[in-house]
């Protein structure tokens, strides 16, 4: 893209400040910036005008979940179906690790965070150890895909190499990168992270399947005959991955996807909950929950919207191919964004200073016709690490690990 073309593009979107330092740049930096301007989708900034609109407008009603007592009763049946699929190579793990983990406040990728007390126990190590339980039960390695972003790819790959994949079969591990989106200030102007670079951040975890396709790894999925993809977040150190019971229950249900859920700890817990929206399985984000929905009871007298998602979903791959071109909603999220100050010096803000634009994996569920919510015991399977201390933190996750006999 020439300077003139870049100027016109930026003018159209009210972003001419991107060229503020252009004259100070050397030739390589100039070329880099022009290329980034060419590749950036500034039209995403239009979502700022709609950030207070409800993203969900349909009629909401409760959905049942497969609860723990039923799972316990049918455990053998589900385990057999799940293990059979895993042994035939039909189920794979997809780790969504492209996020920046800003709340945790470490410069390294979240998977490198050490939660150990007497010896190192990295978040990634916990995930691999959990997956190894399934490898041992099934007697085969599970294909393991890892999504990273421009911001953390090199460090994540180097860490896995250095740690020898924590004993996992490295020939069964593939990495792919997600897309990036610009980040903007409160007036809708994109931030600059350097004089020659627009500030960008990963575009949310919802684009994972499209990114997998663009990376060419979908060919690998087809070649290996994988039919089910278990996507999961990096930060839940207790989660079961490609859990045979979950795989078996979802396959037996005939649904296009399964969602692991936990009973909410309190009506206002900050987790998205399963519901039906205009009759289709869906998820309401915690910030979309009205007091009326929170207090609605079912016929047993329990809260009707009580099953919170833990970002562990099993998707039937061929159904994802059907919806891959559907446009997912864009969520505007307030975050801390590293930027330049008035004088062009880099700053790392302590408080949120602008917005990122994210698509969310939970919105993929809305696009599918059927979903089986599966209850799991939160004390055994839900130890998310979002913060250093307090709720969903390193501290709370350590307590839960200890409760489950994991030595730290």
Within residues 288-347, the interface with ligand UTP by CB under 6 A covers: none
| Cβ proximity of 149 and 180 under 8 Å | yes
Q: Does 283 bind ligand UTP (CB under 6 A)?
A: no
Q: Which residue matches tokens 């150890």?
A: 129
The helix or strand, by DSSP H or E, that contains position 81, with its residue range, turns out to be helix 75-87
The residue ranges of DSSP E strands in 268-367, in sequence order, are 273-277, 280-284, 307-316, 331-335, 339-340, 346-347, 354-358
Q: Which stretch binds ligand UTP (CB under 6 A): 73-81, 227-235, 245-253, 321-329?
A: 227-235
Least CB distance from residue 285 to ligand UTP, whole Å? 11
Nearer to ligand UTP, 255 or 385 (CB): 385
Q: Which residues are CB-neighbours of 30 under 8 A, at least 6 positions away?
A: 3, 22, 196
Least CB distance from residue 67 to ligand UTP, whole Å? 26
Among 82, 143, 182, 202, binds ligand UTP (CB under 6 A): 202
| Cβ proximity of 389 and 398 under 8 Å | no
Q: Does 90 bind ligand UTP (CB under 6 A)?
A: no
Q: Which stretch binds ligand UTP (CB under 6 A): 84-92, 202-210, 241-249, 346-354?
A: 202-210
Q: Which stretch binds ligand UTP (CB under 6 A): 63-71, 212-220, 230-238, 366-374?
A: 230-238
| Cβ proximity of 189 and 206 under 8 Å | no
Nearer to ligand UTP, 85 or 217 (CB): 217
Which among 58, 117, 70 is positioned nearest to 281, based on CA atoms? 58
Nearer to ligand UTP, 121 or 311 (CB): 311
Within residues 146-175, the interface with ligand UTP by CB under 6 A covers: 147
Q: Does 101 bind ligand UTP (CB under 6 A)?
A: yes
Nearer to ligand UTP, 145 or 246 (CB): 145
Among 10, 96, 309, 362, binds ligand UTP (CB under 6 A): 96
Measure the CA–CA gap between 266 and 163, rounded to whole angstroms: 39
Which among 113, 314, 90 is positioned nearest to 224, based on CA atoms? 90
Within residues 352-391, the interface with ligand UTP by CB under 6 A covers: 358, 386
Q: Which stretch binds ligand UTP (CB under 6 A): 27-35, 127-135, 200-208, 269-277?
A: 200-208
Q: Which stretch binds ligand UTP (CB under 6 A): 29-37, 128-136, 197-205, 394-402?
A: 197-205
Q: Does 198 bind ligand UTP (CB under 6 A)?
A: no
Q: Which residues are CB-neighbours of 141 under 8 A, at least 6 positions away?
A: 135, 168, 169, 172
| Residue 321 φ then ψ, to 5° | -65, -35
Measure the CA–CA gap between 263 and 69, rounded to whole angstroms: 13
Measure the CA–CA gap between 324 and 211, rounded to whole angstroms: 10
Nearer to ligand UTP, 92 or 138 (CB): 92
Among 103, 155, 189, 197, binds ligand UTP (CB under 6 A): 103
Which among 127, 389, 403, 378 is positioned nearest to 269, based on CA atoms? 378
Binding site for ligand UTP (CB under 6 A): 96-103, 110, 147, 178, 202-205, 233-235, 358, 386
């Amino acid at each position: 893209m020439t300077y003139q073309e870049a100027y016109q593009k930026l003018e159209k979107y009210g972003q001419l400040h991107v060229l503020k330092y252009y004259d100070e740049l050397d030739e390589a930096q100039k070329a880099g910036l022009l290329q980034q301007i060419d590749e950036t989708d500034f039209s995403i900034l239009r979502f700022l005008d709609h950030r207070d609109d409800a993203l969900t407008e349909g009629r909401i009603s409760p959905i049942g979940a497969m609860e723990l007592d039923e799972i316990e009763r049918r455990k053998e049946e589900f385990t057999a179906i799940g293990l059979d699929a895993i042994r035939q190579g039909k189920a794979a793990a997809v780790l969504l690790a492209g996020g920046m983990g800003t709340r945790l406040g470490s410069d390294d990728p979240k998977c490198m965070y050490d939660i150990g007390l007497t010896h190192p126990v990295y978040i990634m190590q916990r995930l691999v150890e959990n997956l190894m339980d399934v490898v041992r039960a099934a007697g085969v390695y599970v294909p393991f895909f890892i999504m990273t972003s421009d911001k953390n790819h090199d460090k994540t790959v180097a860490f896995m190499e250095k740690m020898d994949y924590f004993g996992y079969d490295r020939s069964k591990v593939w990495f792919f990168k997600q897309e990036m989106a610009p980040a903007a200030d409160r007036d809708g102007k994109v931030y600059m992270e350097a004089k020659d670079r627009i500030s960008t951040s990963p575009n949310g975890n919802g684009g994972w399947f499209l990114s997998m396709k663009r990376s060419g790894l979908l060919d690998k999925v087809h070649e290996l005959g994988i039919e089910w993809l278990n996507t999961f977040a990096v930060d839940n150190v207790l989660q079961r991955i490609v859990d045979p019971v979950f795989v078996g229950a979802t396959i037996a249900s005939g649904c296009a996807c399964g969602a692991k859920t936990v009973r909410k700890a309190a009506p206002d817990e900050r987790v998205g909950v399963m519901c039906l929206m205009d009759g289709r399985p869906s998820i309401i984000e915690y910030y979309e929950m009205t007091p009326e929905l929170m207090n609605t009871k079912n016929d047993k007298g329990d809260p009707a919207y009580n099953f919170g998602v833990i970002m562990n979903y099993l998707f039937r791959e061929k159904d994802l191919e059907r919806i891959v071109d559907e446009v997912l909603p864009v969520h505007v999220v307030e975050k801390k964004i590293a930027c330049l100050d008035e004088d062009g010096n880099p700053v790392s803000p302590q408080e949120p200073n602008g917005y990122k634009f994210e698509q969310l994996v939970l919105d993929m569920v809305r696009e599918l016709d059927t979903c089986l919510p599966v209850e799991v015991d939160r004390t055994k399977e839900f130890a998310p690490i979002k913060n250093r201390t307090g709720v969903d933190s390193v501290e709370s996750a350590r307590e839960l690990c200890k409760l489950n006999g994991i030595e730290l």
